[in-house]
Amino acid sequence: MMNPDFARSLSLLRQEKGISQRQAAKELGISQALLSHYENGVREPGLVFVTKACDFYGVSADFLLGRTLSRDGTTILDADTLYDVSTERDNVLKGSVMATLSKKLVVNSVGLLFDLLSRLGSRNAIKAAADYLTTTVYILYRHLHMASPDSNEDFFSVPETQFLAGLPRADLIMTEAEYLAALANPGKDAKFPSMDHSAMQEAYPGTYQSLLQIVHSCGERLNGEMSSYLERTR
């Protein structure tokens, strides 16, 4: 089976380097036609070409094959490896107080959610929640990317037609179902954390207020939308 991540990475690395297929093919010792086949996923290269491409673009084979997001091939082994924007002081988004406040509400609430899930101890619930949220971010970012004058759809592996047809939204439904299944069967050693209002305030004196704000504002918006719909259908 062809590796679509390899073809996409190969094409993006060349574009990032700012060279044509002809130039890249010459440096890699193959014909332009063959390189085009590789970049479009028509043909799959051998190990010798993969090694040459890694050396030429300065990346690891794991990165080129889509096995890691790190160019040197390293993987995220623990939470300390990831950059945490929440630790920055005075981290204000330039030119927009609203964007900064919105970001803090979401970051605080998501952090609280994953802390609760970690206390529950269900890896399946944590994975499903992460998949759901990352797909949501993917959808919003891709729409923003598409609206940009210099957008390049080659950056994404999911074809634009499938994206616009609702493939990511279908994924949201599936991951939500997986999340519900994980919560219904968390495992014999799982223990639900207390969700009592007083207990939450005590356990999360800062971030709980952000979650409450999201619960309140989202509830008002959803109820308002439902009321408007019922008014229109009467």
Per-residue pLDDT of the chain (234 residues; tens, 9 = 90+): 456 678 888 888 888 888 999 999 999 999 999 999 998 888 989 899 999 999 999 888 887 887 766 666 655 544 454 445 555 555 555 556 678 788 888 999 999 999 999 999 888 999 999 999 999 999 999 999 999 988 888 788 888 999 999 999 999 999 999 999 999 998 888 889 898 999 999 999 889 999 999 999 899 989 999 998 898 888
Separation CA 112–CA 178 (nearest Å): 20
pLDDT at 156: 86
Domain spanning 4-64, CATH class: mainly alpha
- So where are the chain's domains? 4-64, 85-121+191-234, 123-188
Per-residue b or e along 87-101, where b marks 16 or more CB atoms closer than 10 Å to that residue's CB:
eeeeeeeeeeeeeee
